[in-house]
A and B are shown apart, each in its own frame.
Chain A
Amino acid sequence: MIKVENLTKRYAGQPAIENLDFEVGKGEIMGFLGPNGAGKTTTMRILASFMPPTSGRATIAGFDVFEQSLQARAHLGYMPEHVPLYNDMRVTEYLDYRAALKGVPHRRVAERVGDVRELCGLKEVEKKLIGTLSKGYRQRVGLADALLHEPDLLILDEPTIGLDPNQIRQVRELIKNLGKQHTILLSTHILPEVEMTCSRVIIIHKGRIEACDTPENLLGKIRQAGGVVLEAKVGPDNGAEELKKISGVRNVIVDADGDWKIFSLRVESGADVREEIFRLATARHWIVRELTQRRATLEDVFVELTHPDAV
């Protein structure tokens, strides 16, 4: 559905993205991750035909986003970051206007506007001025707009930014349901959301693709799969030194809670060191009140790929 080849964009000579290559197949929900300024918005704007690339090529549904921009745009529902809207229009008025712009046939406008209004929960604000809407409703108007012309592909730039946890959950459900009929490319900073909704993930850093895989594979690939937390009374022993000797343990951070010591262990990928810890604790007569393994999350993958010093 999306095909990107060697895509490069420079602003005044400064590269924003360099030689991006990726594909998004029909029916996929692709997560687009990266730190601020990594080039996510630039890539999405190029895909939406808002700006041309410096070099390289991108096609949407087979149409070049620059050469056949009108056809490409007709296949695309795009929701820009921060959802800019005309504040002086009313919700239904705006959706009617957008439907006409997007070439929804005249006799189907009322039906389509009604459908997206229903789907995005805009029924109760349909007559309100957009300028008076809350952030959550504005976001939904943007999403409704993107869906109006029944596009095959949705590009959503941070659809959940600035929403409260309940709204995030609603939008996530909505995206999941949309994924059944549409191909979706979405960028976000909320990583648990990606794990829950996306079938594949691209992580981009400083304009380059660092990883492109399913969330499960990414988790398997990173060097340390999460860690282990141990809370124990270790008496006079230097617990951290002892724990470091266990094979598979990369790093130990110690915290204290009265007499209790809290050890946070970072371990190698695939290693389960809990048994060894139990043996060590019994041998040294440590009193253990907690021993848990924390599963690696996409957050760990993200940090490892985009900020290697922090690991």
Chain B
Amino acid sequence: MRKFYALLSREVRSYFHSPIAYIVLIFFLLITGVDFYFQISFMNQRQVQYTVQEAFFNSVFFWFAFVLIFPLITMRLFAEEFKLGTIEPLMTAPVRDWQVVLSKFFGALIFYLILWVPPAFYFIIFQQITGQAAAHSAGAYSGSYLMLLLLGMFYLSIGCLASVLTRNQIIAAIISFCAITLLFFLGLVQFILLDVSSATRDLLGYFSAIEHMGTFSRGIIDTRPIVFYLSMTIVMLALTCQAFQSRKWRL
């Protein structure tokens, strides 16, 4: 456990040693800020059926920033170690492969969760200034933050797998960006194909991040996406572990 903690704390610290962390932080703050501003000014102009909180988590801005941050967060995880050769001292120390893989995954997850701290203040500030609630209930907040966590875990695990496959960070970023975007659009297909049978639409609905976010941000906690994202994360991490071992052996 102590070894795992040492690995994890290095991972988290190394984010803040590199300029990428600050670029991602600023970029993310900017886009979510703009998102929040637009949603409110839109609501000022007309009558709408949803809350600020729902609008914020379901806008184009949000999704644009969302799919873009994962490749940036995960691209360096393994690729950099292979490139610099630091994988050699790391793996010749008495640590297990899964400890390394999990420490990198959780390191990325911690950084990702740090990104979500400032937006939480948007809602608090909104409430302070306007005196109105930004969401229907507390459940809506926990629903959307739970969905952020689940989606984040799944997409970060995809990023981990992409990063372990190459020693080039750019290639790792492109692979994970393509995979995440494809998955994202798979969920959109059901909105485009209007005449397909309801079974196909239901099936595609299981993959739809937009739909999941829609329900969760209204405060409806559906167990199906929870199982789906958790199990997919575990599958991705298991694949990462396998790929990591085989790559290390072929170095």
Contact = CB atoms under 8 A, between A and B. Distances in A.
Interface string A46-71: 00111110000000000000000011
B92 A70 contact: no
Contact of B92 (A73, A85, A88, A89): A73
A101 B91 contact: no
B92 A49 contact: yes
B99 to A, nearest CB: 9
A100 B250 CA distance: 28
B3 A103 contact: yes
A2 B94 CA distance: 18
Contacts of A70: 94, 96
A206 interface: no
A100 B2 contact: yes
Interface string A71-85: 101101010101011
A100 B248 contact: no
A51 B18 CA distance: 30
A103 B94 contact: yes
Contact of A106 (B2, B17, B88): B2
A189 interface: no
B59 interface: no
B249 to A, nearest CB: 5
Interface string B85-124: 1111111111110000000000000000000000000000
A11 to B, nearest CB: 8
B14 interface: yes
Contact of A51 (B14, B85, B251): B251
Contacts of B10: 86, 89, 97
Contact of A84 (B6, B88, B93, B95): B88
Contacts of A101: 3, 6-7, 90, 93-95
B196 interface: no
Contacts of B92: 48-50, 73, 76, 78, 80
Given A51-B251, A88-B14, A97-B10, A102 B86 contact: no
Contacts of B18: 88
Contacts of A45: 88
Nearest to B85: A84
Nearest to B14: A88
A130 to B, nearest CB: 11
A145 interface: yes
Given A49-B91, A73-B93, 6 more contacts: A45-B88, A51-B248, A70-B94, A73-B94, A97-B6, A100-B3
Interface of B: 2-3, 5-7, 10, 14, 17-18, 84-96, 248-251
Interface of A: 11, 45, 48-52, 70-71, 73-74, 76, 78, 80, 82, 84-89, 97-98, 100-103, 106, 142, 145
16 contacts: A45-B88, A50-B92, A70-B94, A70-B96, A71-B94, A73-B93, A82-B85, A84-B85, A84-B88, A87-B84, A100-B5, A100-B6, A101-B6, A103-B2, A103-B3, A142-B89
